[in-house]
Structure 1
Amino acid sequence: MNNNQTLEKLQQMRLSAMASLHKQHLGDNRIESMTTDEYLALLVDHQWEDRLNKKIVRLVSQACFKQKASLVEITYDPQRNLDKNSFVRLGTLDFIRRKENLIVTGASGTGKSYLAQALGYEACLMEYKVLYANTSKLLNELILSKMDGSYLKELKRVTRTDLLILDDFGLQALDQQSREIMMDIIDDRHNGASTIIASQIPVSAWYELIGEGTIADAILDRIVNSSHRIKLEGESLRKGKLKSI
């Protein structure tokens, strides 16, 4: 057996992790201590883990998170009105598997974005496709895409993700174009994928914020009725330069 040819073929088949480990074991003469089945399993597991890690890195990059957030870094101060048991259940991501939504509301600085992105990052680790976006920026980008004819392509990119995170929803009232695009997004994802909406505006004020009764009714019916709710309270976590969430 020509080991150099074997390594070259592994590289050509894009099994670089397997080739690297095989080369290392050849140099260390560790192959003889394993059975054929054990060695093959070792190589395959190494290649599998390498591809999984690369996929997760790619998913995190494509998600476009604003900050790195982790479920393990979340604090459950009673003043925040964040129930640990409820949020830990959300952290299992069963709500994504059930195509349910999550609404996180609270004043500026209470950690809405962090919670949403922590769930998003966990979803990437579980190999879900995630997209994080500032709501106003996303709607403006989609408005511009109508001008160059790429709207349907861009809308598909947004609606086909397993988890869409719309942050800072409601900071700007929706005009007619924004309302229609928001309706397209919510309607396409209804019962098919999960959406997290983070907003400083209480849900009770969303009807007026969206405007135009028919569209507002349709959007709220699709997004609110199938949503888990978190209403954060307390002072801004940014006061005193607090770094923990």
Structure 2
Amino acid sequence: MNNNQTVEKLKKMRLTAMAELHLQHVKNNQFNKLTADEYLAILTDHEWEDRQNKKINRLLTQANFRQKASVAEVSYTEARNLDKNMYNRLGTLDFILKKENIILTGASGVGKSFLAQALGHQACLMGFRVYYTSTARLLARFKLSKVDGTYIRELKKLLKVDLLIMDDFGLQAFDSHAREALMDIIDDRFNQTATIVSSQIPVSAWYDIIGEGTIADAILDRLVNSSHRIDLKGESLRKGILKNE
């Protein structure tokens, strides 16, 4: 058996991790005590794990997260008004499988973005496609796509995302273009995929912020009804960070 040829053939078949491990075992003469089945299983597991890790890293990069966040790092102090059992249930990602939405509200700095991105990070680890963006940036992108003729393509691209995270909802006024884009995005994703929206503004004020009663009704009906709601309380977490610096 020509091990060099075997390694090259594995690489050409894009089984790079398997090829590298096989070459390492050949050099160190580590496979003599293994049966053929055992050795094949070791190589296969190594290739599988390598591909899974690369996939997760690719998903994390594509998600465009603003900060590193994980479910394990979430604080459940009483002042935050964050139900640990509820958030842990959300952390199972069952809401993604059920195509449900999450709405996070609270004052600036209370950790809405962190909670949303922690769930997004968990989703990436489980192989889901995630995209994080500020609402204003997303709607501006869709406004430009109207001009260059890629609007429908952008909608289709976004529909392929299992979990869309729209941060800072309502910080900028909605013009007719923004309302139309938001309506199309929410309507396309309704009962098809999951969405997380975070906002400093209470849900009760969203109707007036969106404007155009008929469109606002349609958006809120699809986005808010039957969504999981978290209303965070307490002081800004950034104050504590500044004090420690």
| TM-score, normalization by structure 1 | 0.98
Matched AA of 1:100 = E
What does residue 152 of structure 1 align with? 152
Shift in Å, 1:159: 2.3
Shift in Å, 1:163: 0.1
Where 2:32 maps in the other structure, the secondary structure is: helix
Matched AA of 1:99 = K
Counterpart-to-counterpart distance in 2, 1:29 and 1:205: 69
**2:196 matches 1:199:** no
**Please, which runs of 5 or more residues in structure 2 have no aligned partner?**
none
**2:110 matches 1:110:** yes
What does residue 165 of structure 2 align with? 165
Counterpart-to-counterpart distance in 1, 2:141 and 2:84: 36
Matched AA of 1:88 = N
Moved over 4 A (4+): none
Q: How many residues align?
A: 244
Q: 1:183-239 CA deviation, whole Å, 9 max, x = no partner?
A: 000000000000000000000001111100110010000011131000000000000
Counterpart-to-counterpart distance in 2, 1:157 and 1:242: 39
Shift in Å, 1:242: 6.1
Matched AA of 1:94 = D
What does residue 49 of structure 1 align with? 49
Q: 1:104-127 CA deviation, whole Å, 9 max, x = no partner?
A: 000000000000000000000000
Where 2:237 maps in the other structure, the secondary structure is: coil
Counterpart-to-counterpart distance in 2, 1:235 and 1:177: 35
Counterpart-to-counterpart distance in 2, 1:243 and 1:227: 36
Matched AA of 2:200 = Q
Where 1:109 maps in the other structure, the secondary structure is: coil
What does residue 225 of structure 1 align with? 225
What does residue 25 of structure 1 align with? 25
Which deviates the most, 235-244 or 119-128? 235-244
Counterpart-to-counterpart distance in 1, 2:146 and 2:159: 16
What does residue 176 of structure 1 align with? 176
What does residue 62 of structure 1 align with? 62
**2:92 matches 1:92:** yes
Counterpart-to-counterpart distance in 2, 1:134 and 1:162: 17
Counterpart-to-counterpart distance in 2, 1:243 and 1:74: 20
Where 2:56 maps in the other structure, the secondary structure is: helix
Percent identity (aligned): 66
Q: 1:28-49 CA deviation, whole Å, 9 max, x = no partner?
A: 1111111111100100010000
Counterpart-to-counterpart distance in 2, 1:76 and 1:216: 33
What does residue 14 of structure 1 align with? 14
Matched AA of 1:129 = R
Counterpart-to-counterpart distance in 2, 1:72 and 1:66: 18
Counterpart-to-counterpart distance in 1, 2:202 and 2:193: 23
**Please, which runs of 5 or more residues in structure 1 have no aligned partner?**
none
Where 1:191 maps in the other structure, the secondary structure is: coil
